[in-house]
Amino acid sequence: MVVGIVKDFKAKLVSLFAGELNVLKYVDFVDLNYKPKDSDLLCAFTLEPEGMDLKEAAGAIAAESSVGTWTQLTTEKPYVTKLAAHVYSLEGNTAKIAYPIELFEAGNMPNILSGVAGNVFGLKALLNLRLTDIQLPAELTKSFKGPRYGIEGIRKLLKVKNRPLVGTIIKPKLGLKSEDHAEVAYEAWAGGCDIVKDDENLSSQKFNPFEDRLHATLDARDRAEAETGEKKVYMINITAETETMLDRADVVIDHGGEYVMVDILTCGWAALQTLRNQNYRLVIHAHRAGHAAFTKSQKHGIAMRPIATVARAIGVDQLHVGTVVGKMSETKPEVLENIEACKAPMHGFNPVMPVASGGVHPRLVPALLEVFGKDVVIQAGGGIHGHPEGTKTGALAMRHAVDAALKGISLEEVAEEHVELRGALETWKE
């Protein structure tokens, strides 16, 4: 009996103590009557709870990504509650959460993502959690630079106004010596490509050192421009430790380069932000190597849409967004969402040029244009270099396919007059 009295007394004491401290429980972070402020950062999550109901699980996300935690605290102050995130919508398994802007440091993307996309993914109470959208308020957005060029700037640089840009990736992606790499680039440009880029894992290996490759390929670019009368650009991969990446960007500028490519996820948001903050006169092409570790599961991780939003805020000019067709797994709704993140109004920032890449070849061009419209880089590696007549013919076939699709003419009809396209259609039948 004495034990029972003591337990009851302790329970009342804890309850009283908690009341005095205004302790926040998970469910206290759910307020479906809350109207988000213009200054709030907004996120959408899909969740699958384990061991608690949906409302409490949604509250756990808001709590653990703002000012709450799993237990009662003696350190909480009344003013802390003003900084709590709010679950303001809960429909099906989708929770929308508003975060007060005071929770974040302006101009610090790692801080922002550590908050809204950090420890919450490891909560035991959540079997699965997926961040599907992020919207930055104007005050936070303006603390980043955004794209320097974007779609309009890229078109002005390349002097291409009314058609998709045609690009290629050097293949094989690894193994070629610098001289052979440059020759493949020249053949692609001479055949009609606007853009040639490195693949994501080509850096400065012994068989193809960075500066040797840069010199040789820019020389090939100049030769192709003189012969074709068209503007050509080379996206060399500068991805590395941040200081090395900046040094490489300087070398590109010194040698007349106008583009750089960065593996934005493997180098990290802070490194990308440091690069953009230099305000180089360079178009930044964002490769998303490693994204599927976050994006591929429909139940857990981070969708590509918020990744695109974050990359745009930091300041990339073009970004891989999937293809619908080709070898990548994203669905049409996902790709359309990614495109929207690149182009939707964003507090005055330039729209980002979407890039379609991954298993692309000439037969797929009409389908790509139906999804993307004209503002896209159609980027084919194997779909150009795999042409039986070689790279130059493969690039010409791709240009024929683009021209046909823009005119609404079937590829088969155009192929009757252009042997290059006919060879591509015979090689890739679907």
Q: Which residues are catalytic?
A: 171, 287
Sheet holding 86-91, edge to edge: 86-91, 94-99, 41-49, 126-135, 301-302
Q: What are phi and psi of 167, to 5 degrees?
A: -135, 165
Taking the C-alpha atoms of residue 282 and residue 272, their distance in angstroms, rounded to an integer, is 13
> Which two tokens mark 63?
């709590």
Q: Burial-class residue 6 by CB neighbours within 10 Å (0-12, 13-18, 19+).
A: exposed
Are residues 202 and 172 in contact, defined by beta-carbon separation less than 8 angstroms?
no
Dihedral sign (CA 164, 158, 231, 377): negative
Of 339, 154, 174, 161, residue with least CA distance to 259: 154
Taking the C-alpha atoms of residue 8 and residue 416, their distance in angstroms, rounded to an integer, is 90
Of 374, 194, 395, residue with least CA distance to 424: 395
CB within 8 A of 31, min separation 6: which ones? 86, 87, 88
Neighbours of 351 (CB within 10 A): 19
Bridge partners, residue 333, by sequence: none
Q: Burial-class residue 327 by CB neighbours within 10 Å (0-12, 13-18, 19+).
A: exposed
Which amino acid belongs to residue 277? N
Taking the C-alpha atoms of residue 111 and residue 140, their distance in angstroms, rounded to an integer, is 12
Residue with tokens 């290059």: 420
Taking the C-alpha atoms of residue 102 and residue 114, their distance in angstroms, rounded to an integer, is 15
Of 276, 315, 384, residue with least CA distance to 147: 315
